[in-house]
Chain A
């Protein structure tokens, strides 16, 4: 096996593993049991999706994917922080 095919195999395995990580986070997102578990699973899903986008960029060999990964990371942070703040205040007000 030459070096290029070995590298392709390793990058494909990395993409499969990151997809499996997203699937596991999705399992927790669907099973719950409570809202904070779902928000935590959504945050993990976002980070793993961002890493997958970075690996896509390495495989494609373009730097366009870097901006996409940055946007995914920023959206993940904002949405998780907003959901956590809602859980914190919504429950206290009730």
Chain B
């Protein structure tokens, strides 16, 4: 286990907790969608990179199994947030409450 792998994992965890903090503190739904993506993209990739580095060093050969999780997150995160955003827009229109913020 190298110090570099532990630093990568710690950095990823830091980004994940920052994203969750933003999720808990932002005032409206459309602002709350943004912060968790920090944890689901760069945060997850840093943790996965740390895992790849660690198991590569332990087993003495390159292992890339964890990259599958990174690829999976890369594909699925935009899909889920797009669906959620559409659902939120449709619900706001149906109830006539809390319109999305206008373009600045």
Contact = CB atoms under 8 A, between A and B. Distances in A.
A49 B52 CA distance: 18
Chain B at the A interface: SS class: helix
Contact of A48 (B14, B39, B58): B39
Interface string B50-67: 110011001000000110
Contacts of A37: 29, 32
Interface in B62-89: 65-66, 68-69, 72-73, 76, 79-80, 83-84, 86-88
Q: How large is the interface on A (under 10, 10 to 19, 20 to 34, 35 or more residues)?
A: 35 or more
* Size bin of chain B's contact surface: 35 or more
A84 B81 CA distance: 9
A22 B29 CA distance: 19
A58 B3 contact: no
A42 B5 CA distance: 28
Nearest to A23: B20
B83 A85 contact: yes
Interface in B1-60: 1, 3, 5-7, 9-10, 12-14, 16-17, 19-21, 23-24, 29, 32-33, 36, 39-40, 43-44, 47-48, 50-51, 54-55, 58
Interface of B: 1, 3, 5-7, 9-10, 12-14, 16-17, 19-21, 23-24, 29, 32-33, 36, 39-40, 43-44, 47-48, 50-51, 54-55, 58, 65-66, 68-69, 72-73, 76, 79-80, 83-84, 86-88, 90-91, 94
25 contacts: A4-B1, A14-B10, A17-B10, A17-B17, A21-B39, A27-B24, A28-B32, A35-B91, A36-B87, A40-B29, A44-B20, A44-B23, A47-B44, A47-B73, A51-B16, A51-B43, A54-B69, A55-B13, A58-B50, A58-B54, A85-B87, A88-B90, A91-B87, A91-B90, A92-B94
